Amino acid sequence: MNRRNFLHRASAGTIGLGSLQLLGSKAWADQDCHNKEQDKDKGFHFVVASVPINGSMGATDRLLFWGDGTFDEDGVEGGGKFDHWQRTGVFPAPIVSSGKWKAKEFVSFVLPTITAPGDPEATHGPFQGGILTLKADFYPKGQPKIKDVVLEIVCNLGPAGASTPGKDEGVYTTFQGVAFGPGPGGAGITIFDA
């Protein structure tokens, strides 16, 4: 999905991406200024709008969130913000919960099942496709912390010819009893540093 289609689909879902601060955020702006010896091996970056999938309850629920961080087999660092809301046709849309999340535990990183001949690492320039699974704690404002939320971050890197059939680009998670993913009506941009 190209950026224009993502923004169009996201705005059609009444998300209001015009206020996204991620693109100019300190996390991304400082990425090149870090001492690379202190960073983890790879980086993750995403902005996604997820919808209920697999017949999950909560048909009107939506999850808009972003994340940024670093990871390797020894651990993960990073986090972002989230907004769990309901699509009711009333504006502003009702908020179920919103706040910050923090990466807690590295679970796995696997390469896409389809890669281009001669590029088994699914790389293209400074980027790499794959699936990162991690655990995170979510901190909704005015509500108790939600511990050990599993995030499955999928990057199908088109320019590298890399993809995992059955896994669309985006973030899969079960959050507050609803299974979310990049199904119909969802959208997302995800990327890993090679």
Main-chain phi, psi angles of 7, to 5 degrees? -65, -40
CA–CA dist 193, 172 (Å, integer):
20
Residue 19 has pLDDT above 70, yes or no: no
Residue 15: pLDDT band (50, 70, 90) is very low
Q: C-alpha distances in angstroms, 94 versus 46, 61, 76, 90, 98? A: 24, 10, 32, 8, 11
pLDDT digit string (tens) for 167-183? 999 999 999 999 999 98
3-state helix, strand, coil split of the chain in percent (to 5) is: 15, 50, 40
CA–CA dist 1, 169 (Å, integer):
9
pLDDT at residue 17 in the model = 35
Residue 147 has pLDDT above 60, yes or no: yes
| Tokens 């980027």 sit on residue | 127
What is the domain partition of the chain in residue ranges?
3-15+41-193
pLDDT at residue 40 in the model = 66
pLDDT at residue 112 in the model = 96
CA–CA dist 162, 179 (Å, integer):
25
Residue 13 has pLDDT above 70, yes or no: no
Segment 6-21 shows an average pLDDT of: 37
Whether 154 and 172 have beta carbons less than 8 Å apart is answered as: yes
